[in-house]
């Protein structure tokens, strides 16, 4: 049964944790979908984990569309959301509607995610939602602001915590259907989760969020650089290296093909 926004919001009421992961292509999306992941995000972390950029900033809308289309073909049930990349929505609500419209029309995804909840961004979210485009918010550490925030934990002082809280509230008021809370203290994530009616989905935000998201490359042990809060459930870097070394040896020793 397809996961809808209403079902995610129902999950919060029933205190059933929401499971979310990132995908980058057909096969990863298909595997995640078959495993029963609720929300699949084509995250702009694609820039680092797949395209080899240093940050998410160089990622283009065309790159997001390309990967989202591939992933979409693997998804039957999960709710598919796509990150709007840096500078594809910050200029104006019109630019955001244009970019998000392309995502929904060209990929078949059902929602977009964007970063920040400061007043102008909350207004952009309101305009997107009015245009019929579901929006997943994202506050706390917002990697598209790396040159302003670094990759440090956010919301640590009382002032910074109330800033993150007020951005989350502004996004809910603007009509976001859920909010990603990235790399903030667990106590702040708990406070936001209790205050909001919509679900919170945490990454590096402790156990009190309504759901959790990880970058799938981190979960699989495929990344060459992992954030401190990620957990690897497998070591695919090692498994792939061993398989490729075995293949090299067998070809060079004329053992394969047999
Ligand atoms: O781009 C991404 O993968 C994300 C998640 C870390 C939430 O935004």
> In this model, does residue 224 exceed pLDDT 90?
no
CA–CA separation, 168 and 117 (whole Å): 6
Residue 59 phi, psi (nearest 5): -60, 135
Kindly report, residue by residue over 85-94, the tens digit of the pLDDT.
999 999 999 9
Q: Say if ligand 1 is within 6 A of residue 21 CB.
A: no
Say how many Å lie between the CA of residue 114 and the centre of ligand 1: 10
257, part of any domain: no
Q: Would you say residue 226 has pLDDT above 90? A: no
Hey, which of 45, 67, 225 would you mutate to test ligand 1's pocket, going by the most ligand atoms within 8 Å of its Cβ?
45
pLDDT of 30 above 90:
yes
Task: Please tell me if the CB atom of residue 180 comes closer than 6 angstroms to any atom of ligand 1.
Answer: yes
Pocket test residue of 29, 47, 83 for ligand 1, highest count of atoms within 8 A of CB:
83
Q: In which band, very low, low, confident or very high, does the pLDDT at 57 lie, cut at 50, 70 and 90?
A: very high
62 is catalytic: no
* Assigned domain for 258 exists: no
Which atom of ligand 1 is the closest one to the Cα of 113?
A: 8
H or E, element range at 147: helix 146-149
User: Which protein residue has the closest C-alpha to ligand 1 atom 2?
Assistant: 43
- Digit-coded pLDDT (tens) for 137-195: 999 999 999 999 999 999 999 999 999 999 999 999 999 999 999 999 999 999 999 99
Residue 230 has pLDDT above 90, yes or no: yes
- Give the span between the Cα atoms of 182 and 110, in whole angstroms: 22
Q: Ligand 1: which residue has its CA nearest to atom 6?
A: 215
Q: How high is the pLDDT of residue 39?
A: 99
Whose alpha carbon is nearest atom 1 of ligand 1?
43
Is the link from the previous residue into 79 a cis peptide, with omega within 30 of 0? Answer: no
Is residue 213 in contact with ligand 1, taking CB distance under 6 Å?
yes
Residue 92 belongs to some domain of the structure: yes
- 223 domain-assigned: yes
Helices 158-174 & 119-130, crossing angle to 10 degrees? Answer: 20
The span from the CA of 30 to the CA of 23, in Å, is 9
Q: How high is the pLDDT of residue 225?
A: 80
Query: Is 110 contained in some domain?
Result: yes
Within a domain: 157: yes
Report pLDDT for 181: 98
228 near 214, Cβ under 8 Å?
no
Q: Rounded to an integer, what distance in angstroms lies between the CA atom of residue 51 and that of residue 38?
A: 25
100, 61, 81, 102: which is closest to 21 by C-alpha?
81
Structural domain that includes position 220: 5-252
**Which tokens is 209 given?**
């969020």
Q: Pick the closest to residue 201 from 29, 30, 37, 36 (CA basis).
A: 37
Residue 22: pLDDT band with limits 50, 70, 90: very high
**How large is the average pLDDT for residues 225-244?**
95
Domain at 131, CATH number:
3.20.20.60
149 found inside a domain: yes
Residue 20 dihedral angles phi and psi, to the nearest 5°: -130, 145
Domain count, the chain: 1
Q: What value does the mean pLDDT of the chain take? A: 97
Q: How confident is the model at residue 17 (pLDDT cuts 50, 70, 90)?
A: very high
Asked whether residue 111 is domain-assigned, the answer is yes
Beta bridge partners of 148: none
């Amino acid at each position: 049964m397809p996961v809808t926004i209403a079902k995610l919001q129902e999950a919060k009421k029933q205190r059933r944790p929401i499971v979310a992961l990132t995908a980058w292509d057909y096969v990863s999306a298909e595997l995640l979908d078959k495993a029963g992941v609720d929300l699949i995000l084509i995250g702009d972390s694609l820039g680092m984990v797949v395209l080899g950029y240093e940050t998410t900033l160089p990622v283009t809308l065309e790159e997001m569309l390309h990967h989202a289309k591939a992933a979409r073909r693997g998804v039957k049930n999960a709710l598919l959301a796509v990150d709007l990349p840096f500078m594809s929505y910050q200029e104006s609500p019109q630019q955001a509607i244009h970019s998000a419209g392309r995502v929904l029309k060209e990929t078949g995804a059902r929602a977009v995610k964007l970063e920040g909840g400061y007043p102008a961004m909350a207004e952009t979210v309101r305009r997107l939602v009015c245009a019929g485009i579901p929006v997943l918010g994202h506050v706390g550490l917002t990697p598209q602001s790396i040159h302003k925030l670094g990759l440090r934990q956010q919301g640590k002082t009382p002032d910074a915590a109330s800033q993150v809280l007020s951005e989350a509230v502004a996004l809910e008021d603007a009509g976001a259907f859920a909010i990603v809370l990235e790399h903030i203290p667990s106590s702040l994530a708990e406070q936001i989760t209790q205050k909001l009616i919509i679900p919170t989905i945490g990454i590096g935000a402790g156990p009190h969020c309504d759901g959790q998201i990880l970058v799938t490359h981190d979960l699989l042990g495929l990344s060459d650089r992992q954030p401190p809060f990620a957990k690897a459930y497998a070591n695919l870097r090692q498994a792939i290296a061993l398989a490729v070394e075995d293949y090299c040896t067998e070809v060079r020793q004329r053992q394969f093909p047999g």
